[in-house]
A = this chain, B = another copy of it.
Amino acid sequence: MEFNEINERDAAELGAIVAPQRISCGESSCALHSKDQSSHRAYVPGAVIWPLSAEEVAKIVSYACDRLMPVTAWGMGSSLEGNPIPVCGGIVLDFSMMNRVLAIRHEDFQADLEPGVIYQDLNETLRHQGLFFPPDPGARATIGGMIGNNASGSRTVRYGATRDHIMRLKVVLADGEIIEIGNRASKSSSGYDLVHIFVGSEGTLGIVVEATVKLTPIPAEFSAAVASFPSAEEAASAVFGIRRAGLDPVALEFLSPECMELVSREQGISIASGPAVFAEFAGPSASYLAETVVYAEEICRENGSLKYEAGIGRDRRDKLFRARHSLGEMIIRSHPDRKIMTTDVAVPISMFPSMIAFADAESRKTSLPRYLFSHAGDGNIHLVVLGRKDRESEIRTVEELNSRIVMKAIELGGTATGEHGVGIGKRIFMEREHGKSLEWMRRIKGLFDPKGILNPGKIFP
């Protein structure tokens, strides 16, 4: 696909659509929107625009469609697979100024949001009403980015992914048409489910300019526990045991010894040496939780746990969660000379112990620094193995390892990406994962975006 570059006249016309101060072709703005938190290389856009309304977005996209220019939506740039990197240049739409909470209808457990709302800020607002928006990717992500990516995180094991919380969307399509899809009823069998085509489409089919999301009551009581194990595989078996028993944790995380050391060193949280499982339970009463935690302990002991620390209070739990959420950043900081590549496979939970064992053994063979961590309750595994940026052979080793792990996950009935999206890095696995249905994804792309201007260079190999 040949795109046009943004010239001075384009910049002036686009500036007239928004306001001159809400478009920038300057070096620093463009550099700031040239890469996300992944290690994928930067591509500098031609212009960054900060829209204020659906109508502005529609006009910009319509202009870009006429002039054959790429348009890439941008939330916080916190994604991990190059999803919003403008690899073909063009316009980046930064949604940070479209960040209004339009309505909270607490009685319906719903909120109407602009895409630039940051989910932690939303949850801070909702806290006083006893509600929250459950998907939690950890990073300071925007709702728009989360929808684009079908983001999920440590609470997904109980509450589902972003996909499960989107009721209605307003979307700007590739020619600038605005459509509304879905509705506010808690269920519907009316026509085709367009909402879920857009959720997880990484801005390649349309640009979300408003969303109605489903909220959830905050449970009355929480209780957390940490258990350590002699091996990763035993820890993984305990995770499987907890899920199989139907204990319904709100978080069930796995951390390798290297992660535990890093957390201990950087955050001064010392819990367990060996591979560890962090479990959190929530429920209507303390007595119910006490039972659950005891049951979880039994399962951990049966799987060889060395230490089980239960009854972790809210402060320590919050600290642990923050540490878990900043693990990626800590790894980056600790290894400035190394390239970060994160696997993000997910497998059916029964396959989790063998998947963890495989990832553990294979990564060990490389002798490179490595961190294995996992939203274990979902069977979602992240492995970071670090090759030096200037050692081509190490980078190749890591890439080959990543590839073997993805292939294994697909073979076990799983997926190449549990939550980071396809972006740039997972495109090479799409054929393998989806087979003939990839062609149907391409056709849907062709239907909604025949000129291919929306976030080009993503998802498809």
| Residues of chain A whose beta carbon lies under 8 Å from any beta carbon of chain B | 105-108, 110, 130, 149-152, 156-157, 160-161, 163-164, 177, 179-181, 183-194, 196-197, 199-201, 205, 217, 240, 244, 246, 248, 283-285, 287-288, 291-292, 346-350, 378-380, 409-410, 413-422, 426, 430, 433-438, 440-441, 443-445, 447-448, 459
Contacts and interface: CB of A to CB of B under 8 A. Distances in A.
A449 B291 CA distance: 54
Given A179-B435, A179-B437, A183-B413, A201 B190 contact: no
B348 A105 contact: yes
13 contacts: A107-B350, A163-B193, A164-B164, A186-B346, A187-B380, A188-B346, A189-B200, A190-B415, A191-B430, A191-B433, A194-B444, A217-B248, A443-B447
B190 A433 contact: yes
Contacts of A108: 348-350
Given A164-B164, A413-B183, A437-B181, A189 B149 contact: yes
B183 A192 contact: no
A190 B437 contact: no
Nearest to A204: B192
B189 A205 contact: no
B193 A197 contact: yes
Contacts of A164: 164
A283 B289 CA distance: 12
A157 B186 CA distance: 8
Contacts of A110: 348
B186 A378 contact: yes
The 4 closest A-B CB pairs, nearest first, are A217-B246, A184-B413, A196-B196, A185-B346
A459 to B, nearest CB: 6
Given A130-B246, A186-B349, 13 more contacts: A107-B240, A108-B350, A161-B189, A164-B164, A185-B379, A190-B433, A191-B438, A192-B205, A193-B199, A197-B197, A283-B284, A284-B292, A443-B447
A458 to B, nearest CB: 10
Contacts of A186: 157, 346, 348-349, 378-379
Contacts of A240: 107
Given A192-B205, A347-B185, A419-B187, A177 B379 contact: no
Given A379-B185, A414-B185, A190 B426 contact: yes
A83 to B, nearest CB: 9
A190 B348 contact: no
B201 A419 contact: no
B418 A185 contact: yes
Contacts of A163: 193
Contact of A348 (B180, B185, B199, B434): B185
A348 to B, nearest CB: 4
Contact of A415 (B188, B292, B420): B188
Contacts of A288: 284-285, 288
B189 A150 contact: yes
Contacts of A380: 185, 187
Contact of A193 (B200, B248, B433, B436): B200
